[in-house]
Amino acid sequence: MLRHIALCLSATVMLGCTSTSASISAKAAKNTPLYVVEAATIRYPNQARNAVSLTFDDGRASQVLVGTPILDKYQAKATFYVMAGAVNLQLARWQHAVANGHEIGNHTTSHLCTGNFQWLRDKNAGLEQVDLTWLRNDIEQNNQALKTALGVTPTAFAYPCGNTFVGRGLKTQSYVPLIAEMFDSGRTWLDETGNNPGYTDFAQLTGIRMDGLSFDEIKTILEQLRGNQSWLILAGHDVGEKGLYSVDQQALARLIEYLQDPANGYWLDTVSNVAKHLRAERTQPE
């Protein structure tokens, strides 16, 4: 902890550096960095300039019917944020994906989003109608079901629809602190920027859409956002034909080839592997 304080004082940009930091529990410190370090001090493996994670939401069947065969061909590892109910529809293939080293993250049991979505209005459901206790239980249930189905305990979470609240109006509460407590990371959705590796909050990692884009369009986005040694987390849903909620399978293959070419300066790994690396980098003496 003494080293943390010294680093805190030496950091060019400081956040939350107080004399009380020593009393903060190890768990809290893990989820809430006590300070911010300059992105320029962060190092990635193999002298890469950026980290990239490929992520897919919902546990859709096409992810293991079309997606993981492409990823496995290149030995690329992705993070899948899933509901156990969806996984159980293709259980053997998901077990195979886990055996091949892909990461399984939690995406809640009920996939509740804002009740403005018609499919939730039809069920008289929505994040506006629940509280943090309900949501914690919904998330814990999914963790338990995934442990049973796949033998893994997720350390990564993705907010369904990117929504991070419960309640409405004056009674609205953020559930980001709940995710910071329960997981090593949480990813949002439809963000416009990457994650500054020295600054980003692991409980609100940004996610950039890769659904519906060609390889060239995805490459252009990566090039635009790769400043500050950003960690770029791409997010999609189905894999197959290009669509509003579907990653083009040819684009995915070309993207992996591009990211794995050392000349392009990217480190491709799962969300939890990159998060773990960055946490360690943030505590390295300069």
Binder to Zn ion among 160, 162, 198, 207 (CB under 5 A)?
160
End-to-end CA distance of the chain: give it in Å, rounded: 16
Least separation in angstroms between residue 57's CB and Zn ion is 4
Q: Residue 36 in 3-state DSSP?
A: coil
With respect to Zn ion, which residue has the nearer C-beta, 50 or 204? 204
Give the nearer residue to Zn ion in terms of CB position, either 160 or 207. Answer: 160
- Per-residue x/- mask for Zn ion, residues 106 to 145, rule CB under 5 A? ----------------------------------------
Nearer to Zn ion, 58 or 269 (CB): 58
Nearer to Zn ion, 108 or 196 (CB): 108
Does 194 help bind Zn ion (rule: CB under 5 A)?
A: no
* Residue 244 neighbours by CB under 8 Å, 6+ apart: 211, 212
Choose one: 20-28, 45-53, 153-161, 268-276; the region binding Zn ion (CB under 5 A): 153-161
Q: Which two tokens stand for residue 172?
A: 């609205």
Number of residues that bind Zn ion (CB under 5 A): 3
Rounded to a whole number of angstroms, the minimum distance from the CB of residue 159 to Zn ion is: 9
Do 280 and 51 touch, CB atoms closer than 8 A? Answer: no
57 belongs to the binding site for Zn ion (CB under 5 A): yes
Please spell the DSSP secondary structure of 212-281, one letter per residue: T--HHHHHHHHHHH-GGG-EEEEEESEEES-BTTEEEHHHHHHHHHHHH-GGG-EEE--HHHHHHHHHHH
**Residue whose C-alpha is closest to residue 187's, from 197, 202, 173:** 202
Least CB distance to Zn ion at residue 164 (A): 13
The residue at minimum Cβ distance from Zn ion is: 57
Q: Which of 58, 103, 184, 211 binds Zn ion (CB under 5 A)?
A: 58
Three-state secondary structure readout of 191-211: CCCCECCCCCCHHHECCEECC
Among the listed ranges 4-12, 158-166, 170-178, 217-225, the one in contact with Zn ion (CB under 5 A) is 158-166
Instruction: State the amino acid at position 96 in one-letter form.
Output: H
Positions that interact with Zn ion (CB under 5 A): 57-58, 160
